[in-house]
Amino acid sequence: MKDERKGSTLSSQVAVDFSKPTAEDGHAVNRLIAECSPLDTNSVYCNLLQCSHFSQTSICAKNDGLLAGFTSGYLLPASPNTLFIWQVAVSSSFRGQGLATQMLHKLLRYPNCQNVEYLETTITDSNDASWSLFLNLARHLSATTETSEMFENENHFKGQHETEKSLRIGPFTKRFKPQRLL
């Protein structure tokens, strides 16, 4: 597996290019997220904002110009050393090949993430794939994890959505903090 910013290869030798998203990716991101149950869908407008306003902390993975994966994130305004991962979406034809993990590692190497010491996300209890992804990332980074309830089913979602648990990973040790790309 090559470990370069562009032209990285997945375990099945499928060439994928990684890049920061642009507004032109917004509609494709919206379609991809809609195909990735149990992810919550957003409006195309929301995805356009993710791809433009949050492009410095989000990543696209493309195969032959087509979107294979997308991860959105942002630095917490009150804690700029914390990267919050909003969504990780991988096309069904690219699942099980390590693409989600690669996107997270590459995102942590972005210049805007050079001071990131913690990664946070929210996950529902039933989303086994996300738990596996993020707990494996924590192990790889030799980082501790903390879990707490963030948005509760009844109080916040009025019974319309499963409780979202917060997962906090970090701090990353200097030894395992990802190397920054130039």
| CATH code, domain carrying 165 | 3.40.630.30
Question: Is residue 65 situated within a structural domain?
Answer: yes
Question: Is residue 179 situated within a structural domain?
Answer: no
Question: Is residue 47 situated within a structural domain?
Answer: yes
Residue 37 has a pLDDT of 84
Question: Is residue 1 situated within a structural domain?
Answer: no
Question: Is residue 39 situated within a structural domain?
Answer: yes
Number of structural domains, the chain?
A: 1
Question: Is residue 175 situated within a structural domain?
Answer: no
Print the domain residue range for 97: 8-169
Residue 164 has a pLDDT of 84
Tens digit of pLDDT per residue, the chain (182 long)?
333 333 444 444 568 999 999 999 999 999 999 999 888 888 999 999 999 999 999 999 999 999 999 999 999 999 999 999 999 999 999 999 999 999 999 999 999 998 999 999 999 988 899 999 999 999 999 999 999 886 777 776 777 777 889 999 999 865 445 554 43
Residue 116 has a pLDDT of 94
b/e 152-180 (16+ beta carbons within 10 angstroms → b): eeeeeeeeeebbbbebbbbebeeeebbee
